[in-house]
Amino acid sequence: MADLKVTALTSLGATTAREDLLHVIDDPSGTPVNKKVTFGEMANALAVPVLLTDTDVTLTEATHAGRLLVTPDLTADRTYTLPTPIAGMSFRFTGPDTAGTTEDGSAVKITTANAADTEHFEGKVVFLDINAVGTDTEVAIVGSDNDSNDILTINVPGHYDVTCIAQSTTKWRITGFVASDTAPAFSDS
């Protein structure tokens, strides 16, 4: 095969398959080495869930973006801080990772990296009241003000699955559900 520029190669487009090979440069900022990886291997490696620790965590694009973030059974209130948004970057939170069916006794806060005047949430989460009995079953929508709310507090969760997707460099789209006996709340810092 004659030497070709990458831009001159034929695109696979919609016929891309998991066994197709990609050329990668491993450790480009250190000692670069040319390697190969199948599309499937790369997709799997980038989708491995991340088990968060029972501490406050400042999330990063490199370690956390595009992955399922599993929170443990917490011993205290914890804050997970999103990085500055890049359009398309996403974070999906689920938890708590407990063996029982009882609620976690602590709150989870998901916050933006910067104050409400520069970054905020837009969107809503579904609240499922697990303390409701019989016909008192409560399902509610809890929404951001779409203007300045930069904190989502998930109070004593039984379970939650919340996704944050950067719409721009200032807005995070938020969606998902929270099952608890206390409604989640959006607020300003």
| DSSP 8-state symbol, 81 | E
Average pLDDT for residues 2-18, to the nearest whole number? 80
pLDDT above 80 (res 97): no
pLDDT at position 100 is 54
Our measurement of the distance from residue 11's CA atom to the centroid of its chain's CA atoms, rounded to an integer in Å, reads: 31
Q: List 173's β-bridge partners, or say none.
A: 122, 165
pLDDT at position 98 is 65
Question: Kind and range of the H or E element at 174?
Answer: strand 171-180
Other residues' Cβ atoms within 10 Å of the Cβ of residue 52 = 21
Average pLDDT for residues 110-123, to the nearest whole number? 89
Percent of the chain with pLDDT over 90: 56
pLDDT at position 79 is 96
